[in-house]
Amino acid sequence: MTTFSTPLTDQLEIDIPILLAPMAGGPTTPELVGAVSNAGAFGQFGAAYLDGAAIHTAAGNIQGKTNKGFGINLFVPEDPPITAEETAAATAAIAEYFAQFGVEPPESVTNAMPDFDEQVASVIESGVKLCSFHLGHGSERAITGLKDAGIVTAASATSVAEAQEAEAAGIDFIIAQGSEAGGHRTTWVGDWQDSMTGTMGLISQLTGAVSIPIIAAGGIMDGRGLAAALALGACGVQMGTAFLTCPEAGVHPAFRQALLDVTDDATVVTKTFSGRPARGLRNRYISEMEKSDAPILPFPYQNTLTGGMRAAATKAADTDFMSMWCGQAASLSRGLPAAELIEQIVEEYQEAANAAFHSSIG
């Protein structure tokens, strides 16, 4: 039997150093989070778009699925200035897409993100094991409150500067988000295009730059990826795309099928859906918006603006207008239940570790 002992397994009291990536907006259902934790790895719930009360309910639902530990993830708030003219131009740029679904663009575009302090308070009350942050490292008040409650903290980083900032703020684990990763780039220091280091290069550089442990994320789909990450000095991995095709995931059937059919060249990083760079499957909406160089509002305003269109497209099962976030290695998706997937990954890890560390001897 394969046994793991890393700072991640020790601190989270888990058997397998795999975190389910928190995926806000539906994929990380209580069923999926519970199944991953029950399998000896660690489930995380993406709560970025939920208010305190909804987080409380979700945590209770997860606790109904598992008595093991799990984590909750929040987006650190940002509220860039926008003008009425910019809003009008961005709205006009996508009006025809709304029209084709017979829905109207929103009359006003608000910052629809929930109150961050209320979210943190709810996470603390929910008694979870881990709180991870995306798009920043969270306020001093948030980190202190979580730590006082005995909750482990983590923050995604795409560069040495971000990792060092998060370490200085008191975060316990860095999640190294390589450029292969699906979903939103966490980048909060500098320009996102300057922080597109791949997972391998990022782990190697972050392990030398900070003294807190590194979790690897981006393009890891199997046991070979887990072995490679641990060999580079990571204490575990965070996997999102690999879990999207699990039957327990809250993913639209058309998106799930697209992931099972996809080729290696299908993803792109785009700001067109939310205003923040995020990696997902290229579709007609992204291609046309990029070709016409359409005006785009900063996050979270573009996310609010496109919300009605994305909801209508999801209802119509129209993948040309859905945001289908996933990583560069999506073609390795397997469609297995979470427990079976984790079991296979551990077996593959053992084979990969044997091959890597024994084949060249003698």
Q: Which is nearer to ligand FMN, 93 or 235 (CB)?
A: 235
Could you tell me the two tokens for 138? Answer: 């969270």
Of the candidates 30, 105, 138, 182, which one interacts with ligand FMN according to CB under 6 A?
Answer: 182
C-alpha dihedral (329, 332, 336, 340), degrees to nearest 10 = -90
Residues in 223-262 at the binding interface with ligand FMN, rule: CB under 6 A: 238-242
Q: Is 21 in the site for ligand FMN (CB under 6 A)?
A: yes
Q: Which residue has the tokens 């990380």?
A: 28
Q: Which is nearer to ligand FMN, 215 or 309 (CB)?
A: 215
Of the candidates 177, 187, 197, 274, which one interacts with ligand FMN according to CB under 6 A?
Answer: 177
- The contacts of residue 44 (CB under 8 Å, 6+ apart) are 19, 20, 21, 22, 28, 33, 70, 71, 72, 73, 130, 132, 238
| Cα–Cα nearest to 25, from 73, 79, 91, 97 | 73
User: From residue 30 to residue 69, what is the string marking binding to ligand FMN with x (rule CB under 6 A)?
Assistant: ----------------x-x---------------------
Question: Does an H or E element contain 175, and which?
Answer: strand 173-177
Residues in 302-331 at the binding interface with ligand FMN, rule: CB under 6 A: 325-327, 329
CB of 68 to ligand FMN, least distance (A): 20
| Cα–Cα nearest to 338, from 22, 1, 8, 31 | 31
Could you tell me the two tokens for 164? Answer: 């060092």
Residues in 127-156 at the binding interface with ligand FMN, rule: CB under 6 A: 132, 134, 156
- The contacts of residue 315 (CB under 8 Å, 6+ apart) are none
The site that binds ligand FMN (CB under 6 A) totals a number of residues, namely 29
Backbone angles phi, psi at 302, to 5 degrees: -65, -30
Scanning 112-120, 211-219, 312-320, 337-345 for contacts with ligand FMN by CB under 6 A, the matching segment is 211-219
Q: Is 73 in the site for ligand FMN (CB under 6 A)?
A: yes
Q: Is 71 in the site for ligand FMN (CB under 6 A)?
A: no
Q: Which residues contact ligand FMN (rule: CB under 6 A)?
A: 21-24, 27, 46, 48, 73, 132, 134, 156, 177, 180-183, 217-220, 238-242, 325-327, 329
